[in-house]
Structure 1
């Protein structure tokens, strides 16, 4: 039985057409359609979230703000600069430092780090295109994340291919 639930959410599709820095790149029209679908899925299937940890990039913050609007109750949100351009190992450090009183946490960050983190935690490659969710069950405190394989509870991108449920191996 999992003691913790980690929800990995890759930011929604961003707009590459403007002359803005990567950090300030906004969501594309497709991203503006994707983000609320992710939030609606979270509201229906996860319910209560204790904490959101979000990259400072505009596209990640916008994704979460839109998705969070679909929830009945908004969790506290922490913008963590380590989430931007982070490697899987750097994201693992973020997870290991999560407060143990928070049992369900969503991490809204970028590729390739988020795909690498999913694989690092589960031992399984999980494709993470924009707006994909990976819901992972972890045993023990957050500080033990990655020391034993996490359980893949669901993965996919709402609504077309979600949820793809995995069975424990």
Structure 2
């Protein structure tokens, strides 16, 4: 039988739970079944509940409900984004890390979050899962070439790219 924690993680990955997940991070993050590593008023870093990559795998999450990286790029989130990226930068000073973000169909939780992990296993993971890890410019070019999402994604990537935050790989 699944534990309460396992059920919570399964529910968090369903499309219908996005609003509930965002509410949890915005108003009750200390009650979530996550281990906090660092925090500020704007964001928190937790141990990833199911680490996959590297000798460490953490997630950085804004403490306000934001569904995806493109919504985070909106000008109304400028202070939130700055606080989140400052927390990530501090973590990277203590332990060098790659910063990755899921977007589109690769994002399975309805709250934007950034993965912090070392680079050690990426070669094997990419080969074994047949994933590609495009750099920012390649991701921007690929996403902005799709007419249906052209304006939303172009604006989102442009704002994040110009925000002075960490170099982020889209996954």
Q: Shorter chain as normaliser: what TM range?
A: under 0.3
Higher helix share: 2
Higher strand share: 1
| TM-score, normalisation: structure 2 | 0.24
| TM-score, normalisation: structure 1 | 0.24
